Amino acid sequence: MPLTSLAVFLGSSPGTDPALRRLAREVGDGLARRGIRLVYGGGGRGLMDDVAGGALAAGGEVVGVIPREMVTREWGRDDLTEVHVVDSMHERKALMAQRADAFLALPGGLGTLEEVFEVWTWRAIGFHDKPVGFLDAGGFWTPLLDAMDGLVAAGFLTRATLDDLVVADTLEAALAGLESRLAPGDDGGLRPGT
């Protein structure tokens, strides 16, 4: 099945490495050029701003979902294809999940981790069957993903759940992995409660 809409989780700050800003912009551009709608948190700062800017500059569709409090603080963008203002972070994540075919984490901090771990958990327990991935460009996520092996060894995470994650160092490889898990009848070997 083709991927038509991707939720991207990433930092609301730019980080310290300028390469991450370029990466976010290239991801936005790459999604737009492939006709994949970007769904993201609606932010107008940091890497969030860069991914949206990259997609918009390439003529892509960008759906932003942002809590009202963040709009009040002027943290959002108003030049997106669609802007959905919601009342809470919970509503934000639920609407982003509803609007996306799959999920991809780019570099980011606590918010990025919280968002991607929640949708990954939802997939693992059978609340949805949408694939989840990490864009591990430059090995950014490698230490975290290596730590997940400790959870497997300790019996708190199944190997199948960890192996179900798409981990790739390029956007092209990430999209291919996510699309391969969209195939009809593929549930990644997971069942509710795994």
On the question of pLDDT at 183 being above 70, the answer is no
Q: Report, as an integer, the average pLDDT of 168-174.
A: 98
The pLDDT, as a whole number, for residue 1 is 77
What's the pLDDT tens digit per position in 50-81?
A: 999 999 999 999 999 999 998 887 788 989 99
Cross-strand bridge partners of residue 8? 104
The candidate with the shortest Cα–Cα distance to 11, out of 37, 39, 36, 43, is 43
List helix spans (H) across the chain.
Answer: 18-33, 46-57, 68-72, 89-99, 110-124, 142-153, 159-164, 171-180
On the question of pLDDT at 121 being above 80, the answer is yes
* Dihedral angle over CA of 19, 64, 73, 107, nearest 10: -30
On the question of pLDDT at 190 being above 60, the answer is no
